[in-house]
A = this chain, B = another copy of it.
Amino acid sequence: MDEQNRDEAAARFIERIGQIVEQDGLTRIAGRIFGYLLLSSEAHSLEDLAKAVQASKGSISQETRLLERLGALERVTRAGDRRVFYQIGDRMMGRMVALRIERFAQLREAMAEGSRVADDAAVRARLSAFVDFHDHLLSTMREAQDRWCRGHGIET
């Protein structure tokens, strides 16, 4: 793969991650920042990122801090340099999965509340089945996550 193709492929990857992250409720710019950093082993300055994803400094500042809060990015500083650098966080993988597992848990809770509220027996049965199913699913997911993380030295 020559450099030209590699750059195009990288751009496609960044856009793709941008869309996926956007589907998860963040902004497209946050997704592109994340995608860009995923493809780099180095930390990048705010200015770097602004140039790479073609967005204003303001947006980059906003979104990097959000991603940091979510545990997706890490902030790196260097002696003798006032700038801030961002890189993919160690706990990134664990956090991404944890967030999605959390979504399942949220839905489970809502359904549980529903089955408490419902006055119709058939409805209660349907919602209870949903809750049971998700309990099952959640426990296997969490177990899978724990096991894998322990086996590979990944922190959650």
Residues of A whose CB lies within 8 Å of any CB of B are 6, 9-10, 12-13, 16-17, 20, 23, 25, 38-41, 88, 93, 96-97, 100, 103-104, 106-107, 110-111, 113-114, 116-120, 122-123, 126-127, 129-130, 133, 136-137, 140-141, 144-145, 148, 152
Which residues from chain B contact A120 at a C-beta distance below 8 Å?
Answer: 39-41
Question: Which B residues are in CB contact (< 8 Å) with A97?
Answer: 133, 137
Known A104-B100, A122-B41, A123-B40: A113·B148 in contact at CB below 8 Å: no
For the complex, give the distance between the alpha carbons of A81 and B9 in Å. Answer: 56
Q: Please report the C-alpha to C-alpha distance between residue A98 and residue B88 in the assembled complex, in whole angstroms.
A: 29
Of A13, A93, A107, A117, most buried by chain B (CB within 10 Å of CB) is A117
Bound form: Cα–Cα A38–B107 in Å:
13
The CA-CA distance from A141 to B148 in the complex, in Å, is 14
Query: In the bound complex, do residue A38 and residue B144 qualify as a contact, i.e. CB atoms below 8 Å apart?
Result: no
Residues from chain B with a CB closer than 8 A to the CB of A23 are 25, 103
12 A/B residue pairs, CB under 8 Å, sorted by A: A17-B114, A20-B107, A20-B110, A38-B114, A40-B120, A41-B120, A88-B126, A93-B130, A100-B100, A129-B152, A133-B148, A137-B141
Residues of chain B contacted by A126 (CB below 8 angstroms): 38, 88
B residues in contact with A148, CB < 8 Å? 133, 136-137
Q: A123 to chain B: which residues have CB within 8 Å?
A: 38-41
